[in-house]
Structure 1
């Protein structure tokens, strides 16, 4: 953990003089940003769309490299050899959904649990806890489901180019956007990381569950 020698404060995240841009034409999205996040505290990033909030979080978790400046997460630079950022030191919920369509909720959580080095008993206990905590749908249902389309489905056919004289398979969303975000949140919480980074976690979630 990084410590400010002047006042003895422990920081989970340190950002100093950070600059990040995507092209010369657009210029820098983040300009000379400095911030510290103390251990055991909750912080929120507020600002209009396009001001660089998601870019900053991606730099912190190691998905993007800054153009200049310093970032330390749990005392070390993201992506440093042997450092578990990105990895098990953080629970990261991205702004965009990144769930495997063919997995059930249980399979999704077991998949990420294995990545984080958890054993089967640990994963099962956490799955049961998180399904109840986040009011997730049945853990044995697919994130997406497969539906057979035949000639009787012409009126509902999502793709007119399909040959309706044969059976075709089309993907149909099984869970709502809010339900999928709760599954994504469960993935971030699964391994009980010391640091949680959530990018717009309440989008599409009903007001009761937001609390």
Structure 2
């Protein structure tokens, strides 16, 4: 199958789009033109007040443009009925924006219900979307938003935005209100979903590291949404267009290269002793002693890593239940090497890596990341010598 046949997203084109509010001397967005490629993530990054959110909201007409043209999949968005347009575009915002008196299932079902889907189709879709974003329907479908963590609420927000299978997803700082570890996990989850779904995603952030991690292309915006540079993360890191863009890149550009490399790009170790939660402590202790290891990694019934158990804890234990040290952080194959390095510092050693559905895939070691940093530094030094 050709690559473009696998893409479910559509191209977005903004031509000379301007937004001028009554009573203001200068436009909030001035003559903005851009093509967002089908099936790609394009990140708008810029300082607060530069117009990036206004620009994104004009795509689904939450803000009406004063002038210009916007086409989505070749269709003029300004000529469509506004409700019809918005039901074709997923929208995810900071703090999820869930309806507080709706259950998780009811929140996800909102747009399919408005589109007139029959009850069985809606229920099937709700279960499919919950599974896709890693929330067990049996545990979560009847909960209310107040009964969820911030990260779980954001997952529901993404599931709701994708429920009607829209070709376009707009995301306005969706992970900005959660803690750094949860934020990293949600970013990984988005990348995993995108590898399966290939939507066209416009993502707004003020965090350049997030832009580098998520974006196929980044638009660095200045005042009035002036495009200072629109290119791949690699190109912007290597050659910032001007001093303002260089300020966004900041110090340590070579270290930021770690954000361009994924855990899947390096070799994982397979030397951790893994055991299942239903094994007896005596059996696990015997395995550790025979393999001359001190720790075992406990996996649940779906082979997802849950905690490390030390050999000392097994002496008088009768069950592995709740034994050992819960994992504070794991990384996925979609995680960046920078995420992996931060997780290692939090965990104090090697970190388990999970695959597409959270299953154990191996561990990543500090030596691997250090060797990669050294290789990047050598390549950077050699590149400077050649250019000199």
User: TM-score, normalization: structure 1?
Assistant: 0.71
Match of 1:30 in 2: 29
SS at match of 2:121: helix
Residues 109 and 123 of structure 1 are in contact (CA less than 8 Å); yes or no, is this contact kept in structure 2?
Answer: no
Say yes or no: does 1:86 pair with 2:63.
Answer: no
User: Whole-Å Cα distance in 2 between the matches of residues 77 and 185 of structure 1?
Assistant: 26
Match of 1:180 in 2: 153
Residues 73 and 85 of structure 1 are in contact (CA less than 8 Å); yes or no, is this contact kept in structure 2?
Answer: no
Deviant stretches of 4+, over 4 Å:
none
Match of 1:198 in 2: 171
**Structure-2 change in CA distance of 1:177 and 1:33 (3 Å):** same
Which consecutive unaligned segments of at least 5 residues does structure 1 have? 1-9, 145-173
The alpha carbon displacement at 1:124 in A equals 1.9
User: Whole-Å Cα distance in 1 between the matches of residues 186 and 94 of structure 2?
Assistant: 18
Equivalent runs, 1:93-172 vs 2, <5 Å: 93-95=92-94, 97-136=96-135, 138-144=140-146
User: Whole-Å Cα distance in 1 between the matches of residues 71 and 63 of structure 2?
Assistant: 14
Residues 92 and 198 of structure 1 are in contact (CA less than 8 Å); yes or no, is this contact kept in structure 2?
Answer: yes
User: Whole-Å Cα distance in 2 between the matches of residues 95 and 21 of structure 1?
Assistant: 25
Cα-Cα RMSD? 2.5
- How many residues matched? 172
Larger Rg: 2
Q: Which has the higher helix share?
A: 2
Residue by residue, what CA displacement relative to the aligned partner does 1:131-183 show, whole Å, maximum 9, x if unpaired? 22323361111123xxxxxxxxxxxxxxxxxxxxxxxxxxxxx3333322221
More RCO (CA 8 Å, sep 6+): 1
SS at match of 1:121: helix
User: Whole-Å Cα distance in 1 between the matches of residues 53 and 75 of structure 2?
Assistant: 21
User: Whole-Å Cα distance in 2 between the matches of residues 114 and 196 of structure 1?
Assistant: 19
**Structure-2 change in CA distance of 1:82 and 1:55 (3 Å):** closer
Q: Which has the higher strand share?
A: 1
Residues 91 and 196 of structure 1 are in contact (CA less than 8 Å); yes or no, is this contact kept in structure 2?
Answer: yes
User: Whole-Å Cα distance in 2 between the matches of residues 94 and 186 of structure 1?
Assistant: 12
Which consecutive unaligned segments of at least 5 residues does structure 2 have? 1-8, 189-388
Using the TM superposition, name which of 94-103 and 187-196 deviates more.
94-103
User: TM-score, normalization: structure 2?
Assistant: 0.40
**Structure-2 change in CA distance of 1:185 and 1:11 (3 Å):** closer
The alpha carbon displacement at 1:15 in A equals 0.7
Residues 11 and 36 of structure 1 are in contact (CA less than 8 Å); yes or no, is this contact kept in structure 2?
Answer: no
Match of 1:158 in 2: none
Say yes or no: does 1:207 pair with 2:206.
Answer: no
SS at match of 1:124: helix
Residue by residue, what CA displacement relative to the aligned partner does 1:24-50 show, whole Å, maximum 9, x if unpaired? 346212111100112222212121222
